[in-house]
Amino acid sequence: MDVTHPTTGVAIMADKDTTMAINLVGDDSDVARKYDLGARNRRLAKIQPGRPAKVSAEQIEADEIDRLASRTIGWRGVALDGADVEFSAAAAKKLYTRFPWLRVQVAEFIEDRANFLKV
């Protein structure tokens, strides 16, 4: 997925010839399904019979960041504060935490199954 500027919609350039891009897997991938099952099991383990589930807005946001990071498998042209950022799941979480607009782009791309179907 080429990353676009949040207000102009123009592709963000890593240099004069290379766009900033994030490599993603879709919700139907084995990686995503494994993550989702684990996340559901963690939520189910927290449920106490007869008591309402306690969940905060902060936890919901953190879960979404984790979900997106689990579907991020690489990138090119990502730099922060003038330095290239090497890909890792932890770096993806930091990126999605710092830039909510990027989180939205990634979520929208992942949710469109057509982005992952071969024709």
- Model pTM? 0.88
Q: To which H or E segment does residue 78 belong?
A: none
Token pair, residue 53, equals 């589930």
**Residue 42 phi, psi dihedral angles, 5° rounding:** -65, -40
Token pair, residue 30, equals 């084995």
Q: What digits encode the pLDDT tens for the residues 83-118?
A: 999 999 999 999 999 999 999 999 999 999 999 988
Q: What digits encode the pLDDT tens for the residues 23-69?
A: 999 999 999 999 999 999 988 888 878 887 788 889 889 999 999 99
SS3 of residue 98 by DSSP: helix
User: Which of these, 18, 118, 6, lies nearest to 78 by C-alpha position?
Assistant: 18
User: CA 1: distance to chain centroid?
Assistant: 11
